[in-house]
Homo-oligomer: A and B are copies of this chain.
């Protein structure tokens, strides 16, 4: 809440060394959008909490939506997706790769719960904001998952579950519930899970998913 970006700054250009910390600014914006949604977040309120003027935000990012895009881009750029490496690694057993992929994704989602949270707020299918998240966050995941699942099915190692990719992504999304303070509290998870909690949770989710689709003997 008290971001304390700066003491009151005064009018003109800031003194050297007193520039605004973009990391802090964008992180605060991300959290605000995640908590109250795009419509529920006002530029003025955010700027007040940051201790800057409201005009700064729209001037720097062009518009409120520009700020939204910048905040999203910022968090997504922080974390380089390692899923594709795992999925196509020839040295890894396919089933183990699937399992590790789930674990990694759940941990990522848990580390950045704002991304899924913000996505939940977007309702209109043709919204450019939703499109951005999909293209940047969901779609890069799909091909790897689908290739891997297809290989496992042809090898007769998992059941050909209908809409398996959708299930997979849903499980990954569901995994993030754990790290979302709101839903964790609701559903009985720990209010402030530490890294170990998150890891244990990710492993459990992966175990259930893998055990659920794996075949002891090939049958399909």
29 contacts between A and B (CB under 8 A): A36-B39, A37-B39, A39-B39, A40-B40, A40-B123, A117-B123, A121-B121, A121-B123, A124-B182, A130-B182, A138-B186, A138-B187, A161-B204, A161-B207, A163-B189, A163-B204, A165-B188, A166-B184, A166-B188, A167-B204, A169-B187, A170-B174, A173-B174, A173-B177, A174-B174, A208-B209, A211-B212, A211-B213, A212-B213
Is A181 among interface residues, defined by CB-CB distance under 8 A? yes
New contact pairs (12) apart from A125-B185, A166-B188, CB-CB < 8 Å = A37-B123, A38-B40, A162-B200, A162-B204, A163-B188, A163-B201, A163-B204, A166-B178, A166-B189, A167-B174, A167-B205, A209-B212
State whether A212 touches B204 (Cβ < 8 A).
Answer: no
Using Cβ atoms and an 8 Å threshold, which residues of chain B touch A162? Answer: 200-201, 204
Q: Nearest CB to that of A33 among chain B residues?
A: B123
Judged by a CB distance under 8 angstroms, whether A120 is at the interface is yes
Residues in A lying within 8 Å of B, measured CB to CB: 34-40, 117, 120-125, 130, 134, 138, 142, 161-163, 165-167, 169-171, 173-175, 177-178, 181-182, 184-189, 200-201, 204-205, 207-213
Indicate how many identical chains form the complex.
2
Q: Which residue of B lies closest to A213 (CB)?
A: B208
Interface of A is mostly: helix
Instruction: Given A174-B174, A182-B125, A188-B142, verify A161-B208 contact (CB < 8 Å).
Output: yes
Whether A177 and B186, one on each chain, are in contact in the complex, defined by CB atoms closer than 8 angstroms, is: no
Cα–Cα, bound, A181→B204 (Å): 29
Give the distance in Å from the alpha carbon of A34 to the alpha carbon of B187 in the complex.
21
The answer to whether A208 and B204 have CB atoms under 8 Å apart is no
Which residues of B lie under 8 Å from residue A163 when comparing CB positions? 178, 187-189, 201, 204
